[in-house]
Amino acid sequence: MAAPQLSKKKCMQYNDEYIQHGFLPSPSNQQHPMCLLCGKIFSNEAMKPSRLREHLHRVHPTEADKGVAYFQSLYDKQKKRVIGSIFSHSSQPSNDGLRASYNIALLISKSGNPHTIGEELLLPVVTEVLKTVLHHKSPAQITKAIPLCNSTVQRRVDEMAANIEETLCNKLKTTKFSLQIDESTLPNNESLLLDYVRYVSDGCCKEEMLFARKLVTNKTGVAIFHVVRKYFEEKGIQLSNIIACETDGEPAMTGCHRGFLSFLKNAVPGLLTVHCVIHRQHLVAKHLSGHLHNSMSIIIKAVNKIKTHALNSRLFRQLCDDNDDQFQCLVLHNEVRWLSKGNCIQRFYKLCNSIVEFLQISNSGLYNEVKNIKHDIAYLSDIFSEFNIVNKTL
């Protein structure tokens, strides 16, 4: 015998007349009544005029006789609050996208990558993460709120840089500080003047880059001084706030008559001048003792023997693989780069056994020389590694 079918429970429907008792349909479920005064939501069984009227007189007796107009005004106010919250939530992603755009532009600037990387790589990456990892149904809505085109990133970086520069200049107007001036030539033969400042703030020493300016024509001491003085005049910083200046030993910087420091000393009497510590150590490294200088020459000769010949380089790489060395190639020594000498010797020391084995077959004379200076190689590796650590810290 078939089981009797249960009758479907009938649901009460909201009537517009219920507002006179202070009730509206719940926003989450239209079949549940909600009190306008206390916000309490009742079950569908309470959707009866008698039950609604009972709640109004028992819980809100002071509002029981205020009529339909009073409850209608409450309803209108509630709708305005809901609409306002909707607009505030819709504007929040826009503000978050703008903040994210500035933060990402800062990261792009710090990494040194081209500005186009934001639109070409970062936004597709964010979209892929939202879609694949977070299972976001519409990642395009989020990525569209983060403007990262080339011009936008450039504008963001310029705005942040201008703000940082303005803050730093305002600090230097009332603070004593020291300068570090350096002139460098770019690969396209353009001369760039770099200016760093060091000052004490909140009990600690801080160092910041003040400006970078191109020297259009010559790079004499007077030209460098005019660039520095013009910048200080534009920013309203007094030259008398400078208490010390550090430069390298180039004549355009240290010349007693036409050097930059001579002009700066005339403008700031009593100025303390300091020679660049990093440059000084680099000069010292050029003048080793006779024994160490000879060992250094043997190291460079051995490196050139292996690195400058394609066949030797390939054979040496195979030998390093067979010996299970940490590296498979040597590093060339470059006189221009001040970290180069230390890196070259450190790599040479780590591959010293493989180098000796390789030279024993290919060059017996150089093999004997390298074998006899193993202790010098270890010493030079240690001392130059310490130089590099100190210089990087500075």
Residue ranges per structural domain of the chain: 16-65, 94-171, 173-275, 284-393
CATH code for the domain defined by 173-275: 3.30.420.40
Q: What is the pLDDT of residues 104-117, one digit of tens each?
A: 988 998 888 888 89
CB atoms within 10 A of CB 228: 23
Please report how the helices 352-362 and 290-307 are oriented relative to each other, as an axis angle in degrees rounded to 10: 70
Q: What is the pLDDT of residues 138-178, one digit of tens each?
A: 888 888 888 888 888 888 888 888 888 898 999 999 999 99
Please give the Cα distance from 157 to 117 (Å, whole number).
Answer: 14
Looking only at the bridges linking them, the beta strands covering 204-215 and 33-35 are unpaired
Type of residue at 2: A
pLDDT at residue number 1: 45
Buried b / exposed e along 340-361 (16+ C-beta atoms within 10 A): bbbbbbbbbbebbebbbebbee
Q: Which of 48-52, 111-115, 224-228, 315-319 has the lowest mean pLDDT?
A: 48-52
Q: Is the dihedral of CA 147, 150, 156, 160 positive or negative?
A: positive
Q: Which of 25-29, 50-54, 226-230 has the lowest mean pLDDT?
A: 25-29
Buried b / exposed e along 260-288 (16+ C-beta atoms within 10 A): bbbbbbeebeebebeebebbeebeebeee
Please give the Cα distance from 334 to 231 (Å, whole number).
Answer: 35
**Of 338, 244, 241, the residue nearest 285 (C-alpha):** 338
